[in-house]
Amino acid sequence: MKSMNIAQLRAFHTVAAEGGFTKAARLLNVTQPTLSQEVKALEEAYGVLLLDRSRRTVTPTSIGEGLFAITRRLFAAEQEALELLAGARLLDAGTLTVGADGPVHAMPLVAAFTRQHPGPRISLTVGNTQTLLAGLLDTRIDVAVLADAPGDSRLHVLPLRRDPVQALFPRGHALARRRAVSLKDLADQRLILREPGSVTRRLIERAFENASLPMGDTLDIESREAVVEAVAAGLGVGFISAAEFTGDPRLVLVPVAGAALEMDEYVICLRERRRLAVVRAFLDIARERAPAAL
C-alpha cells in the first residue's frame, strides 16, 4: 500500500481549516504557490478534487469533507503525542479548548484553572450539547461542561453538580406571587422552551408526560438569553435552572412542586485525552468542586 505524503495532507488540512490559501500559507510559513502545489499534487495523486476554489472562501468538496474529518483526528493525535511527551511542562504553555452549553458552570472552572495554571491559553466555545459532543469526539474540543452525559464508552464523564429547574415568570404575572406552582397550574400557560433536543426541554416534556398532563401552546427559542428576554417581554413562562438565574428585577423564579425537575451538570472529555496534562489539571479542579454525594 502506498504511503501518504504528510506534507500534502497538512497543506490540505490547513487550507480547509482556514478557508483559504493565503491564511494557510501564512500559518505554515510557506509561500502560497508552494501550498497550492502541495494540495494539487495530493489531488492529482488520487484523481480527486478536494477543495472548491470557485468562491472567495475555499471549502472542501464532498470527498474533501471526508478527508478533513480524518485529518482533524490525525493532526490532533500528533498534537496529543507532542503534549504527552512534553508532559507537565505544558502546564506552563499549550492550549486548552473548553466547550460549554452555558457560561454559568464553566466560568468558575475556567477562572480556577487560570489562577492555578496561568501559562496555557484558554479557548472557550459556547454552543448546544450536540455540537459540543461532536467537537469532543473529533478532538476540536478538549473538555466540555454540559448538562447531558451520553452513554458513550469513548467519553470520560465527571458529575459536577445538580440544580433544580424552576419556572420563570415576568414580575407582573399572577402566578409569580406564589411560593410554588404545579404543572397543572402551567398546563394552560404558553411555555417558552429551548429548541427540540435540548436538555431543559426534554426535562419539561417528560415531567408533563409523567403527570399525564397536556402541554399547552409553546414558543421555541434557541438560547437561554433569548428565553429570559421572551419571558421579560410577557410572551410566556420559561424554565431555567436556579443556578442560571441572575436576579433580573423584571423576572421571578418560582419552584415547581410535585415534579422532579433537576438538571445535572457534567465535565466530559475523551477518555484517551485524560493523558494530556492540561486536561488532567482541568479535571482535577472540577473534581475538587464536585459534591461527593452527586
CA distance 179 to 159: 30
The tens digit of pLDDT for each residue in 43-88 reads 999 999 999 998 889 999 999 999 999 999 998 888 777 776 766 5
State which fold the 162-263 domain adopts. D-Maltodextrin-Binding Protein; domain 2 (3.40.190)
Q: Which residue has the cell 512534553?
A: 86
Return the pLDDT at 91.
Answer: 72
Return the pLDDT at 15.
Answer: 95
Return the pLDDT at 293.
Answer: 45
pLDDT by residue for the chain (294 residues), tens digit each?
567 899 999 999 999 999 999 999 999 999 999 999 999 999 999 999 999 998 889 999 999 999 999 999 998 888 777 776 766 555 777 789 999 988 889 999 999 999 999 988 999 999 888 889 999 998 899 999 998 888 889 999 999 999 999 999 999 999 999 999 999 999 999 999 988 878 889 999 999 999 999 988 999 998 888 999 999 999 999 999 998 898 899 999 999 998 889 999 999 999 988 888 899 999 999 999 887 545
Return the pLDDT at 203.
Answer: 92
Q: Where are the alpha helices (DSSP H) in the chain?
A: 6-18, 21-28, 32-46, 62-86, 103-116, 129-137, 183-186, 199-210, 224-232, 277-289
Residue 291 in grid coordinates:
459534591
Closest CA to 130 of 47, 202, 40, 225: 202
Tell me the helix, strand and coil percentages in the chain, rounded to 5: 50, 20, 30
Domain ranges of the chain: 6-76, 84-160+264-289, 162-263
Same fold, 6-76 and 162-263: no
State which fold the 84-160+264-289 domain adopts. D-Maltodextrin-Binding Protein; domain 2 (3.40.190)
Domain 6-76: state its class. Answer: mainly alpha
Return the pLDDT at 205.
Answer: 94
Return the pLDDT at 80.
Answer: 75
Return the pLDDT at 1.
Answer: 59
Q: Are 116 and 133 in contact (CB under 8 A)?
A: no
Q: Which residue has the cell 399525564?
A: 212
Q: What is the pTM of this model?
A: 0.67
